[in-house]
């Protein structure tokens, strides 16, 4: 896992100094042992329910990481045809894939129907109509779950961002029953389940359990209408520790879910993302310049908002630590910033660090929504990615060359 050994930060025993020397910076480094441990925590905690644990691919879609989860027995939650191509390339059986998202195109539906995915998580009446038409054209029947918006009380849980009435996700709870009837009447759909996903980085499971209770009440109403569901998908959303959060205890969560599902013939599906990968990775970066001012000091590093967008996008906090703990270096308070021409290009503000120009820093908890959100802004190659497996390092994504950044574009014709 990720800890200091002889004053140097190491991933699964490999010093990050060695990884920086071999692969350069900026570079994402992941611990395979930490990925496995996070998955096994879910599997062991929920063992009595034998769930389908669908890793939310958007959190980290590197092929090697998907392949690792596929080998552990995970399914996948995808949100695009591109992510479907990735999980199939990673060797996942299509029937362990659920397809979420509010804007599925006809081409994406066709691709998923031809692959034979487990289920479409449908988010609107118009999506149902489109899916029915596409399935009909292909002479197939699409397995369908409705993403229901449980409208969990925002007053008690103000941090929830996707489970409330006024956001774009899901079907309003009070329209759900009628929408199920509409779905059941369409010839090329088979209603198989129900799903919800109420938000991300939750540190309390109460709203998740409240949401499940609402879904179960709806499942009972539907059963009395003759619509019997096979599975309930409780989404993802469990938080991780970035600084001083106390993430939920997965075993305690599992126990509450198991109580609710006892005596029911419902298969459990879940869609964890961040909690499977977030703390398994760091972003390794080197200090290009220390820039000391009268009011403020800056550590200008070679990673930037294009590599890790969360601080700029959500004002998210990531721990930042020196890779080497050096004796006799004074601590100073710095903003850790990148080279990009935007004032929002920062990785951390007002950090107390004992550092010198040229030192390596590790941005912690960068395994989720890090690499997947990266871009080529400022014509910067995206960071390399390295996986440490049993003390061996493996480059799982090489840094793009500058030629590759230009290859899809065309010059003006000669005049
Ligand atoms: C993003 C997402 C997830 C994963 O959320 P985490 O907070 O990373 O666990 C699961 N389901 C859906 C539908 C999502 O959009």
- Set out the domains of the chain in order of their start, with CATH numbers: 2-29+278-409 (2.40.37.10), 32-277 (3.20.20.10)
Ligand 1 center from residue 102 Cα (angstroms) = 13
Mutate to test the pocket of ligand 1, among 98, 121, 271 (most ligand atoms within 8 A of CB): 271
CB atoms within 10 A of CB 313: 12
Q: What is the pLDDT of residues 359-370, one digit of tens each?
A: 999 999 999 999
Mutate to test the pocket of ligand 1, among 38, 77, 203, 208 (most ligand atoms within 8 A of CB): 77
Residue with tokens 């031809």: 114
Ligand 1 center from residue 275 Cα (angstroms) = 10
In this prediction, residue 160 carries a pLDDT of: 47
User: How far is it, in rounded angstroms, from Cα 65 to Cα 67?
Assistant: 5
In this prediction, residue 155 carries a pLDDT of: 43
From 27, 54, 196, 341, active-site residue:
341
Q: What is the pLDDT of residues 172-204, one digit of tens each?
A: 999 999 999 999 999 999 999 999 999 999 999
Residue 42 has pLDDT above 50, yes or no: yes
Nearest-atom number in ligand 1 for the CA of 239 is 7
Q: What is the pLDDT of residues 268-303, one digit of tens each?
A: 999 999 999 999 999 999 999 999 999 999 999 999
Our answer to whether residue 119 is catalytic in this structure is: no
User: How far is it, in rounded angstroms, from Cα 176 to Cα 202?
Assistant: 25
Give CA separation, 249 vs 60, 148, 202, 206, 246, in Å: 22, 25, 11, 12, 9
Residue 159 has pLDDT above 90, yes or no: no
Ligand 1 center from residue 196 Cα (angstroms) = 10
In this prediction, residue 164 carries a pLDDT of: 66
In this prediction, residue 158 carries a pLDDT of: 53
User: How far is it, in rounded angstroms, from Cα 212 to Cα 246?
Assistant: 22
Residue 156 has pLDDT above 60, yes or no: no
Output the ligand 1 site: residues, CB below 6 A: 56, 58-59, 77, 100, 197, 200, 235-237, 271-275
In this prediction, residue 343 carries a pLDDT of: 87
- Residue 317 marked in a binding site: no
Written as six digits, the tokens of 9 are 């930060």
Mutate to test the pocket of ligand 1, among 99, 273, 276 (most ligand atoms within 8 A of CB): 273
Ligand 1 center from residue 236 Cα (angstroms) = 5
Residue 162 has pLDDT above 70, yes or no: no
Residue 153 has pLDDT above 70, yes or no: no
- Residue 170 marked in a binding site: no
CB atoms within 10 A of CB 231: 19
Residue 148 has pLDDT above 50, yes or no: yes
- Average pLDDT (37-50) is 98
The structure's pTM equals 0.96
Cα–Cα–Cα angle for 250, 392, 12, rounded to 5 degrees: 40
- Residue 4 marked in a binding site: no
Residue 324 has pLDDT above 80, yes or no: yes
Residue 78 has pLDDT above 60, yes or no: yes
Residue with tokens 């990735």: 86
């Amino acid at each position: 896992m990720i800890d200091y050994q002889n004053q140097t930060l190491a991933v699964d025993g490999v010093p990050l100094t060695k990884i920086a020397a071999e692969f350069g910076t900026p570079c994402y480094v992941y611990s395979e042992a930490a990925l496995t441990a996070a998955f096994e925590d879910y599997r062991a905690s929920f063992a009595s329910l034998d769930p389908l644990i669908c890793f939310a691919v958007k959190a980290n879609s590197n092929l090697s990481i998907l392949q690792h989860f596929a080998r552990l027995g995970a399914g996948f939650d995808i949100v695009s045809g591109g992510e479907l191509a990735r999980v199939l390339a990673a060797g996942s059986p299509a029937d362990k894939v659920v397809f979420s998202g509010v804007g599925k195109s006809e081409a994406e539906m066709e691709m998923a129907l031809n692959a034979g995915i487990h289920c479409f998580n449908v988010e609107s009446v118009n999506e149902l109509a489109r899916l029915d038409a596409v399935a009909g054209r292909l002479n197939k029947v699409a397995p369908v779950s409705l993403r229901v918006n449980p409208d969990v009380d925002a007053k008690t849980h103000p941090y929830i961002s996707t489970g409330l009435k006024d956001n774009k996700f899901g079907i309003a709870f009070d329209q759900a029953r009628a929408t199920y009837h509409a779905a059941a009447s369409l010839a090329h759909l088979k209603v198989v389940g129900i799903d919800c996903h109420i938000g991300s980085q939750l540190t309390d499971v109460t709203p998740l359990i409240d949401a499940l209770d609402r879904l179960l009440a709806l499942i009972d109403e539907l059963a009395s209408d003759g619509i019997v569901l096979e599975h309930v998908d409780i989404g993802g959303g469990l938080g991780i520790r970035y600084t001083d959060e106390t993430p939920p205890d997965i075993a305690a969560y599992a126990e509450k879910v198991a109580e609710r599902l006892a005596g029911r013939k419902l298969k459990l599906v879940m869609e964890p993302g961040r909690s499977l990968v977030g703390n398994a990775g760091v972003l390794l970066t080197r200090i290009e310049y220390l820039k000391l001012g009268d009011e403020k000091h800056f550590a200008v590093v070679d990673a930037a908002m294009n590599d890790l967008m969360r601080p700029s996008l959500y004002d998210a906090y990531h721990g930042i630590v020196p890779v080497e703990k050096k004796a006799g270096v004074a601590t100073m308070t710095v903003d850790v910033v990148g080279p990009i021409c935007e004032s929002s290009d920062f990785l951390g503000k007002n950090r107390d660090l004992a550092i010198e120009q040229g030192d390596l820093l590790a941005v912690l908890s960068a395994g989720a929504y890090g690499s997947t959100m990266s871009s080529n802004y400022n014509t910067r190659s995206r960071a390399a990615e390295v996986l440490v497996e049993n003390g061996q390092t493996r480059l799982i994504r090489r840094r793009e060359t500058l030629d590759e950044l230009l290859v899809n574009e065309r010059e003006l014709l000669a005049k």
